[in-house]
Amino acid sequence: MTRNSLFKILSVAAVLALLVVACGDDDDDDPTATSPSEGGAPTATRESSDGGGGGDGDPLIAMGEQLYSEQGCSGCHSVDGSDNVGPSWQGIYNSEEELEDGSTVTVDDAYIAESITDPGAKIVSGYQNIMPPYANFTDEQISAVTAYIASLAE
Ligand code: HEC
């Protein structure tokens, strides 16, 4: 081995070592690195929302409101009567609604539960069958959303 090639090997090794050190530093120091959220299923509502500090009363309604924004319902449903991809939730509770097939349905607890877990079962007239099923919603989450919708009744 000549002196020259030994020198080459050494410089390559030095560059590699520098790279490794630099990358290591980056990883350690980067304060913006975000760890991936754990688990796949939406478990966003584990934090206790009871205690009733800020809301006006019912913790179930507060939980429903939280689900509304955290689970993406707000992307398609308004709560102020304005039209969106889906029907507004304002004033629908206990009202009669026309379905795509011309029949009518009363927006009660059972219908809301079905609309969440199996949205394609009954399509509201004038809307598309594009709502994703939230089949993993627990009974508690369904009650919470129902309570929230009921609170928007007037
Ligand atoms: C991608 C848009 C989209 C998202 C996200 C979405 N929905 Fe819907 N939803 C719709 C559409 C469109 C309809 C009307 C068609 C139908 O009946 O499936 C609907 C209908 C409903 C109805 C029946 C409303 C009525 O007037 O009869 C309920 C209740 C409902 N959604 C609840 C929810 C809940 C709860 C969430 C969040 C967990 C949610 N939706 C998320 C699009 C969406």
Structure confidence at residue 96 (pLDDT): 97
Structure confidence at residue 153 (pLDDT): 86
Per-domain residue ranges of the chain: 59-151
Atom 13 (ligand 1): residue with closest C-alpha? Answer: 86
Residues sharing a CB contact under 8 Å with residue 9, sequence separation 6 or more, in sequence order: none
E strand or H helix at 98: strand 96-98
Alpha-carbon gap, residue 78 to 87, rounded angstroms: 7
> Cα of 75 to ligand 1 centre, how many Å?
10
Torsion of CA 23, 25, 31, 37, to 10 degrees: 50
Structure confidence at residue 71 (pLDDT): 98
**pLDDT higher than threshold 80 for residue 48:** no
Lowest mean pLDDT among 25-39, 52-66, 114-128: 25-39
In Å, what is the CA distance from 88 to each residue of 59, 104, 127, 135?
Answer: 22, 17, 11, 21
DSSP three-state, residue 105: strand
78-104 tens-digit pLDDT: 999 999 999 999 999 999 999 999 999
Query: Is 1.10.40.30 the CATH classification of the domain at 59-151?
Result: no
Atom 7 (ligand 1): residue with closest C-alpha? Answer: 131
DSSP three-state, residue 104: strand
Q: How confident is the model at residue 57 (pLDDT cuts 50, 70, 90)?
A: confident
> Cα of 137 to ligand 1 centre, how many Å?
14
pTM: 0.72
